[in-house]
Structure 1
Amino acid sequence: MNAVTQNEAIATASTISQADANALKAGDVVGGGFYAGQIRQADGLYILVVAPKDGGEHDDAPWHTSTQRIDDARSFFDGRANTAAMVRAGVALAVWASGLNVNGFNDWYLPARDELEVVYRNLKPTTEENYVYRAGDNPSSVPAGYPYTADTPTQTPVVAFQSDGAEAFDDESWYWTSTQSESLSSYAWGQAFGLGSQNNNLKDNEFRARAVRRMKVQ
């Protein structure tokens, strides 16, 4: 593959047309993983792609073994930037995510808080009622997310992502986001996939993690 062709392939893999993005449904295969929704970044609109569970999910591990503050890992919407900051600080979980090569893609990262909320909302594994205290408030998602009701969101219709499905998030586990607490250096945000609650948790807690990547809508 010559340089021009290679660059074109990279561009194609990292972008998607508005029409193609609008045609996607949660759980559709795209970009090396599965479509989870749309998220707005500082430079525009992106689709969010969840990595396959096989190769893209990490077993229980701490966010970090140190309580040091990582100032550039506090974005609620830009998990890519958070992950890069975590890698610079030597965070093993971030090194794992950024080092993935899954289905030919190597730009995976740990999702920010608002990114992982989109995943829960659109790929919820259970039929359980949602946690309704603040959960679901998401100004970064497109459309913007509003606080959950007990019955909304509902369980995903995508069988593979329903509880015990091949791609399902563990509904008895918390998942780390890449968003550090904005006020407490020893805490970072996690997302529960049983009831959808979000909370700051001590960094030395051992939670699961699932990598994502994104494609810019053009």
Structure 2
Amino acid sequence: MSAAAQPVPAVTIPEIGQPYGGGFFSGITRDPETGKRYLNITAGAEHELVGAWGEYGVKIKGADSFTDGLANTEAMAASGSELAKQVRALRIGGHDDWAIPARDQQELQYRHFKPTTESNWQYVRSGDNPNSEPVGLLHTEESPAQTMLAAFQEGGAEAFRPRAYWSSTQRSADSAFLMRFDDGGQDTYAKYYELRVRPVRSELLQ
């Protein structure tokens, strides 16, 4: 069989929560413009950072993607965001492409690593994720449930804190999207608030 005729090897997709690529596999997103699929990897809890998103009243060009946290974070860092600069300086597991997760990357973190047993927030767009695989649905009271992964359950070594985390997706000159990891509420806050960040990176799924 010629090289050109060789079958393309199947890609083995990790299990959710499996150590992979310097962190833990947290799901698949699809670029809405190109259709390309990406594996998302969430950093361990020891790499969380805290800080303000950026300067209030300043609209940052290039920080509006719902799927590309790296592009958002690079735009934030270029505009002077200290939090974004700290995330971009991380080197974990030999990888230096860590970013503040875009809104739909962050939704996967909550969907698969929800730390608490609290009922889910059921207002506005919380849970809706058209760019994930499978597509994310609006929260119900029970879904998503607390993760079955003991390390990510409240009190576990890798657990998200039951509080608000920044995404890198800008909403306006004054605010950016966030997610609360107690009940999954997706909302916006003023950029000057200091919130937590759990870094993420992505790899093209061939």
TM (norm. structure 1) is 0.86
Aligned with residue 162 of structure 1, among 147, 150, 153: 153
Query: Does the alignment pair 1:211 with 2:192?
Result: no
Q: Structure 2 matches for 1:39-54, cutoff 5 A?
A: 39-41=29-31, 42-43=33-34, 44-54=36-46
Q: Which runs of 5+ in 1 are unaligned?
A: 1-16
RMSD: 1.2
**What is the letter of the counterpart of residue 53 of structure 1?**
A
The question of whether the paired residues in 2 share the 8 Å contact of 1:113 and 1:177 is answered with yes
Hey, what's the Cα distance between the residues in 2 that align with 1:18 and 1:70?
40
Residue identity in the other structure for 1:63 = W
Which of 136, 139, 151 in structure 1 is aligned with 2:127? 136
Mapping for residues 1-218 of structure 1, pairs under 5 Å: 19-21=11-13, 24-41=14-31, 42-43=33-34, 44-54=36-46, 56-59=47-50, 61-133=51-123, 134-171=125-162, 173-181=163-171, 184-218=172-206
Task: State how far apart, in whole Å, the 2-side matches of 1:143 and 1:71 are.
Answer: 30
Distance 1:129 1:217, change over 3 A: same
Q: How far apart are the structure 2 equivalents of 1:80 and 1:179? A: 11
Structure 1 residue 201: deviation in Å? 0.5
1:58 and 1:131 map into 2 onto residues whose CA distance is 25
**Which structure dedicates a bigger proportion of its chain to helix?**
1
Q: Deviations over 1:167-190 (max 9, x none)?
A: 10001x100000111xx3111111
| Structure 1 residue 94 displacement after superposition | 0.8
| Matches of 1:29 and 1:203, distance apart in 2 | 32
Unaligned runs of 5+ in 2: 1-8
